[in-house]
Structure formats: structure tokens, C-alpha cells
Amino acid sequence: MQRLPDIDEFAGLAEEAFNELPEGFRRMCGNVSIRVADFADHEILDHFGMTNPYQLSGLYQGVDLTQKSISDPMAFPDQVWLYRKPILAEWAERGDVSLKFLIAHVLVHEIGHHFGLSDEDMHAIEDAAETA
């Protein structure tokens, strides 16, 4: 059996995945920081009406680009959270993709929220890409 990456190794994979994204995409992310935790905290899960911490693999926290204004006060940096244990569980369940691919997928999805895309928008884009 393969050893699962600890939180630091997982964060390293997330950094690699981000650095492998197209340069223009990364540049548009601005000061978004990527954070890793084993699970979302209870307040986040409660906010989304979730009781199972494995239901949430990532989260964007911040003000998306469609809502920002240069007149806004200085805000905290936007954050993308990757939740290690739910991603590892999905990876083990699927077995058809690499862990770094799955991390990149969740990362891009959450960055999509930074760009102002909804979950429905991103699912439509993914569906269109699969049929192209």
C-alpha cells in the first residue's frame, strides 16, 4: 500500500500543481494564497449545511474579482483552501487519476470562484470540455 502524503507534502503537491498552471492564469490570481488543512472547520461546514467533513474538498474565501473595486478598503488576501483528507478519499475512491491531477482540479475549481464563476458555470465548462 502506498503511503499517503502528510499535510506538508500535500501542500508541496498543491504548490507544484499551481506552478504548472498556465502563466496567464496564475498571474490573474493576484495575491490569492493557497492553504491546506485536513478538513474544513465546523463553522464552514455548518455554513454550507454539511455534517460530513468529507463532503467539502476545497473552498474559496474572499471577494471575487467581479465584486472588487479599487475604492474598496484594503482587504485580507483571498484564500483557496484545499482539504487534504476529502481529496485523498476521493483520489482513493476514483483510482483513475493522479493525486496531483485531482489537487489541480480542485484548485482550479476554487480559483474559478475567485474569477466570479459559480459551481454551475464550472460544471458547464467541464462538461463542454469533456464533449469537445
pLDDT of residue 117: 78
For the chain, the structural domain boundaries read 7-67+74-131
Residue 69 reports pLDDT greater than 70: no
Per-residue pLDDT for 25 more than 50? yes
pLDDT-based confidence at residue 66 (cuts at 50, 70, 90): low
**pTM (2 d.p.):** 0.85
Q: What is the CATH number of domain 7-67+74-131?
A: 3.30.2010.20
Q: Report the percentage of the chain scoring pLDDT > 70.
A: 83
97-118 average pLDDT score? 88
3-state secondary structure of 75: coil
H-helix segments, 1-132: 7-19, 23-28, 42-47, 84-94, 99-114, 119-131
Beta bridge partners of 82: 36, 58
Per-residue model confidence (pLDDT) at position 16: 95
Identify the pLDDT of residue 53: 97
**Structure confidence at residue 70 as a pLDDT band (50, 70, 90):** low
Give CA–CA dist 41/79, Å, rounded. Answer: 15
